A and B are shown apart, each in its own frame.
Chain A
Amino acid sequence: MIGSGLNSQTFFKTDLTTWEIGPYHSSLPGPMRLKLKLDGEIVVKCEVETGFLHRGLEKASELHGWPSLVVYADHLDPEVAVFGELVTCLAVEEISGITAPPRAQVIRLLLAELARISGHLAFMVRMAKAVGSETVTHYVLRDREKILDLFELVTGARFSLNFLRFGGVRSDVTDGFIERVLEVCELIRVRMKEYNDIFTFNYSFLQRSSGVAPISKDCVRFCGMSGPNARAAGVAFDVRKDAPYLGYSNLDFIAPLGRGEGGVLGDVHDRFLIRLREINESMEILKQVVERIPDGPFLHAPVGNDYKVPAGEAYVRIESSRGLLGCHVVSDGKLKPGRVQYRVPSLANLMAVPLITPGVRVEDLPVVLASLDLGIAEADR
């Protein structure tokens, strides 16, 4: 076409293309649909549709007795099931006016931090897959198995633990658990350096993550985002620090903030780095906690099928690996819950997708989605 009289701008000007991806696609973090308007390979507009994984979890919780609530809470976010169990138990305990014994609180805290590490390692796996780094995918999955082994050692299960109870935990920690936790912490500490060498500061990964799809503080406020995504954008809010529970106020740890090391504050690389740093902080917390597990009972009192929660309501919030997880429980004094409602962090994170994707190249879209650590199971419930 050279010499035809058309300049390159006229020649290459195209109409916007419409693409629909999903609900099931390997580049998506779960069942969801993206409706994209593309200018060439640049995203101009992105609409997100969710709801494909709706299981009626909150309604199901109302149809069964109080003890079943823990089982349903497990399925809120199966990847990090402990957080669903924890927030539900804390809410029911607040209504009942009971407190878990100190030993049970420490066991809960151990499981919560192990789940955070597990969740962040799973995040690393998805990031590695999104940029096509097979080696890191397998290495990180190998190490995450060690955490799941620890869950199995304590609870007998690797994913749906069904371990927390109103007023404590189901059973005491098994022999050798503490030593195994310390071993795994040491192993992951060594491996984190290895991952940094081969992945975090790898040139090709930096190219795919630096300056891509930054989240601004305004975007955080607009969507009500929390957790690592908000902290990567420089918003210092962590429930463990700002409204401590389970004795987090007695522990020495920091909630890392984004520093814009990839060039822009809150970009994909910041969101990746923040989770690596949180893994380190979680390991520090674990080391502090395992040294001071108190003796004593692990359960306030056994909970039977005829367990009744006095009439009342509670709203409890905790810091899950994805952000602020809240639970509003209402009891009318009967054998079944009156209402159980969850405030999940992934809804706010999903709300950010249409705001941060315009201008992103379509091949970077899986990386951007992976970097938000979206939990579709918890968003759809």
Chain B
Amino acid sequence: MDKNQIVLKLNSICSGTVLEAGEFGRSGVVSVWIESKTVLQIAECLKNDLEFQLDWLENLSVVELEEVVVVTYFLRSTTTPETLVLRISALPGSKSEKIVFPSVSSIWPMAIPFENEAEQLFGVTFIGKESCELNNKFLLPDLSHGFPLRKSFDFSSTGSAPIQNGGHS
């Protein structure tokens, strides 16, 4: 499907949900930025609609772009050659404030380990996450503060500063 068809389809599911549509980098893959509150309905459509059949969440990446926390879903179909990049975003109030997004684990269960990591390292809470017997939540020490993958992370809170510039002063 081309970009315009995808935008029309997604807007027909949730009116006005598509904030931006374009190509992802130089790859030519369609990238759609949507309202975060509609992500579950959109995800369900992308997985189950016969025109998409994007049943494999290949990757979930969280990035901080100019203080905005962006969640990127790299989607792929196991039955067709379709791929799509889906994005949602939110602006945290402060460096210690957690951000809340709906979890897509009920649609794509493979999201669980990615969401677990993002919770710890980026301070993103995914509401409605399914339970899983793989627990990869303990990436940080018990007494650690803050979210290391945010740009605002203060290394002095860890008691040790990172080596920068290859160790040269």
Residues of A at under 8 Å CB distance from B?
Answer: 45-52, 54, 56, 58-60, 63-65, 68, 94-95, 97, 221-224, 235, 237, 312-315, 317, 324, 326, 328, 330, 332, 338-339, 341, 343, 347-348, 350-351, 353-355, 379-380
One of A46, A328, A351 near B72 (C-beta < 8 A):
A328
Interface residues of B in 25-68 (CB under 8 A from A): 25-27, 55-59, 61-65
Chain B residues positioned under 8 Å from A58 (CB to CB): 121, 149
Q: Dominant SS at the A interface?
A: mixed
Question: Given the complex of chains A and B, what is the CA–CA distance between A353 and B132 in angstroms?
Answer: 11
A49-B135, A314-B26, A347-B136 are known contacts; what are 15 more A-B pairs with Cβ within 8 Å?
A48-B134, A48-B135, A50-B135, A56-B148, A60-B162, A94-B27, A95-B26, A224-B110, A315-B24, A339-B61, A339-B63, A347-B113, A351-B110, A351-B134, A380-B136
- B110–A51 touching, CB < 8 Å: no
CB distance from A30 to the nearest CB of B (A): 13
* B109 at the A interface (CB under 8 A): yes
- A51–B138 touching, CB < 8 Å: yes
Residue of A nearest to B63 (CB): A339
* B165 at the A interface (CB under 8 A): yes
- A64–B166 touching, CB < 8 Å: yes
Question: Given the complex of chains A and B, what is the CA–CA distance between A351 and B136 in angstroms?
Answer: 10
Interface residues of B in 104-163 (CB under 8 A from A): 108-110, 112-114, 121, 132-140, 148-149, 153, 162-163
One of B78, B114, B137 near A221 (C-beta < 8 A):
B78
Chain B residues positioned under 8 Å from A354 (CB to CB): 132-134
Question: Given the complex of chains A and B, what is the CA–CA distance between A315 and B63 in angstroms?
Answer: 13
CB distance from B108 to the nearest CB of A (A): 8
**10 closest Cβ contacts across the A-B interface?**
A224-B110, A354-B133, A343-B59, A51-B138, A54-B139, A341-B61, A328-B61, A51-B139, A49-B135, A347-B113
One of B58, B108, B133 near A326 (C-beta < 8 A):
B58
Residue of A nearest to B135 (CB): A49
Interface residues of B, CB < 8 Å — how many? Answer: 42
Chain B residues positioned under 8 Å from A63 (CB to CB): 162-164
CB distance from B2 to the nearest CB of A (A): 20
Question: Given the complex of chains A and B, what is the CA–CA distance between A200 and B109 in angstroms?
Answer: 35
* Known contacts A56-B148, A94-B25, A326-B74; is-contact A338 B63 (Cβ 8 Å): yes
- A380–B139 touching, CB < 8 Å: yes
Residue of A nearest to B164 (CB): A63
- B59–A326 touching, CB < 8 Å: yes
Chain A residues positioned under 8 Å from B110 (CB to CB): 222-224, 348, 351
* Known contacts A68-B166, A350-B134; is-contact A343 B58 (Cβ 8 Å): yes
- A64–B113 touching, CB < 8 Å: no
CB distance from B105 to the nearest CB of A (A): 11
Chain A residues positioned under 8 Å from B64 (CB to CB): 339
Chain A residues positioned under 8 Å from B138 (CB to CB): 49-52
Q: List 21 A-B contacts (CB under 8 A).
A: A47-B133, A50-B136, A51-B136, A51-B137, A54-B139, A58-B149, A60-B162, A64-B164, A94-B26, A221-B56, A222-B109, A223-B110, A224-B110, A313-B25, A314-B25, A328-B61, A328-B72, A339-B64, A341-B61, A347-B113, A354-B134
CB distance from A227 to the nearest CB of B (A): 13
CB distance from B30 to the nearest CB of A (A): 13
CB distance from B147 to the nearest CB of A (A): 10
Chain A residues positioned under 8 Å from B137 (CB to CB): 51
* Known contacts A224-B110, A350-B134; is-contact A64 B65 (Cβ 8 Å): no
Question: Given the complex of chains A and B, what is the CA–CA distance between A47 and B148 in angstroms?
Answer: 27
CB-defined interface of B65-98 with A at 8 Å, one 1/0 digit per residue? 1000000101000100000010000000000000
Chain B residues positioned under 8 Å from A64 (CB to CB): 164-166
